[in-house]
Amino acid sequence: MNNGSARGYFEVFQPSIKNQIIHGRKQSVSLFNDNTNVNYPAVTVNITNMAVGSECTTGSPEILFIWFYGDPTNSTEQMYVKVNDSKVVSDADLTQAQWQELTFDLASFNTNMSNVVTLSIGFERNEAADGSGIVFLDDILLYRPKPETN
């Protein structure tokens, strides 16, 4: 962990893929962060190595959905998502031990979604103190807007 964030746990006996804390699939991934020495720890995925590839406009998606599960011991202030070099910060409560849905308008990233190279999920440092904690991620999806319900 040279940038303050890592997928999974540091202990060998703790797998990074979890089967107990899941949202919509068979497993989630744990994302640990410790920004004691780093202001903005993040885990970055090279999209070109994934099945979706760098073309993220197929089907005309408008929203990025991320489901996460927080932890009451989290002392990190905010989570962010960065597409290429464009970062959008969320005000989600990372201390809630329950599944929460984050939504990001793709237009807010102000980047070319037909040529996405990297996707990063990271954590802002709490100004009052160093932050650390863990969140679980599941169901990272691109969608058109959800239909409004009455």
Higher pLDDT, 44 or 114: 114
pLDDT above 70 coverage of the chain, percent: 71
Phi, psi of 90 (to 5 degrees): -105, 150
Beta bridge partners of 97: none
User: For residue range 4-54, what is the model confidence (pLDDT) as tens digits?
Assistant: 444 444 444 344 444 567 666 667 778 877 776 665 567 777 787 777 778
Does 76 map to a domain?
yes
User: For residue range 138-149, what is the model confidence (pLDDT) as tens digits?
Assistant: 888 888 876 566
Amino acid at 91: D
pLDDT score, position 8 = 44
Does 61 map to a domain?
yes
Q: Which domain holds residue 20?
A: 5-143
Give the dihedral of Cα atoms 144, 148, 149, 150; nearest 10 deg: 180
Which CATH number fits the domain that encloses residue 44? 2.60.120.260
Does 148 map to a domain?
no
Higher pLDDT, 41 or 124: 124
pLDDT score, position 22 = 65
Distance CA 14, CA 29 (A): 12
Distance CA 34, CA 47 (A): 24
When divided into structural domains, the chain yields a total of 1
CA 67 to chain CA mean position, Å: 8
- CB under 8 Å to 14, separation ≥6 — which residues? 8
Token pair 């408008």 is found at 62
